[in-house]
Amino acid sequence: MLRTYGPGCDGSVIDPEVERIPDGATWIDLEEPTKQEEALVERCIQVGIPTEDEMKEIEPSSRLYERDGVLYMTVSVLYGVADGAPSTTPVGFVLANGRLVTIRYATPKPVLAFAGHVQREPGLARDSVTVLVRLLDAIIDRLADELENVGAEIEQISSHIFARDLEARRIPATRLTALLTRIGRAQTLLAKIRYSAVSSNRMLSFLGGSNLMHAKEQVDARHHLTSLTTDITSLSEHSSFLSDNLTFLLDASLGLISIEQNAAMKLFSWAAVVFLPPTLVAGIFGMNFHHMPELEWMWGYPASLVLMLASMILPYLYFKRRGWI
């Protein structure tokens, strides 16, 4: 799908059969482009468009480079959070001849939101550099929002693990499974956010060092890039802090599991010790040998019961006094 934004362009879908893209288009957005759409864009901007396989390369030299004055940049953008399956998708940027071309094979929310913003305020697409900087701003803002959501989720998990009421900390198996699942999903989302933040930081550094951004007319854009670089650096540091908190919460939850298991084994241990002496007594008096003097005792049966009861109570009182149970 091919859309154009800028003076005289309202973001409508462009038919790939047309001869050329409108001259006023400063932003050309390619979403899952066909071969015909790619050919139309390449013919109009007179530069090649990177393929999906090329954008998936992780080496900086394959994602960020300049060729004949044309900037080729690829950044990993977070998407799929609302669907419960957070992931990243490569979004390619080609800045050439006063036009910005974006190539993507998914629809991240910041791109969709910025496109709607441009339709309401066409002045945002007055030139290609402004579109690029504003689009990167939207992507970074989205990362900040998701980091805030992760922070809120971590606070909720912490409140469950470190409840004031000691009995509330006794987590049944089903709740414990759900708790560990929440920690794992939060860690997965945080990992995707950090990956996108690192990719965005690399692109900002590359773009800020390009000759295009050092032109006199790009003073405002250059200041905006500096601000975005500071923001993404802060987000990366904050994501590391949240990751450490998640690791601590995971260790704490596993510690609670160990405490519950130890308490259960302790219960079985002292119960076995308490019931062992009466079992021994019952075993002795339960033997049916012919020459057993106890068989002739008139008070043998009640005496054996008293002995068994005493052998249970005395060890219990001893363990209780020592504080073992």
pLDDT level of residue 201 (50, 70, 90 thresholds): very high
- Answer yes or no: are the C-beta atoms of 46 and 114 closer than 8 Å: no
Q: What is the pLDDT of residue 167?
A: 60
Tokens encoding 90? 């490569």
Q: What is the pLDDT of residue 238?
A: 92
131: number of CA atoms within 13 Å, CB side?
Answer: 29
Alpha helices in the chain (DSSP H): 35-45, 52-55, 60-63, 109-120, 128-161, 173-208, 219-285, 300-322
Alpha-carbon separation of residue 149 from 112, 186, 248 (angstroms): 20, 9, 18
Q: How far apart are CA 75 and CA 306, in angstroms?
A: 81
- Answer yes or no: are the C-beta atoms of 76 and 196 closer than 8 Å: yes
Domain ranges of the chain: 2-260, 264-322
- Is the confidence at residue 168, as pLDDT, over 60? no
Digit-coded pLDDT (tens) for 120-164? 888 888 888 999 999 999 999 999 999 999 999 999 888 887 877
Return the higher-pLDDT residue of 250 and 264: 250
Lowest mean pLDDT among 5-9, 109-113, 247-251: 5-9
Q: Which CATH superfamily is domain 264-322 in?
A: Magnesium transport protein CorA, transmembrane region (1.20.58.340)
Amino acid identity at 41: V
Q: How far apart are CA 284 and CA 269, in angstroms?
A: 23
Tell me if domain 2-260 and domain 264-322 are identical in fold.
no
Q: Which CATH superfamily is domain 2-260 in?
A: CorA soluble domain-like (3.30.460.20)
- Answer yes or no: are the C-beta atoms of 198 and 243 closer than 8 Å: no
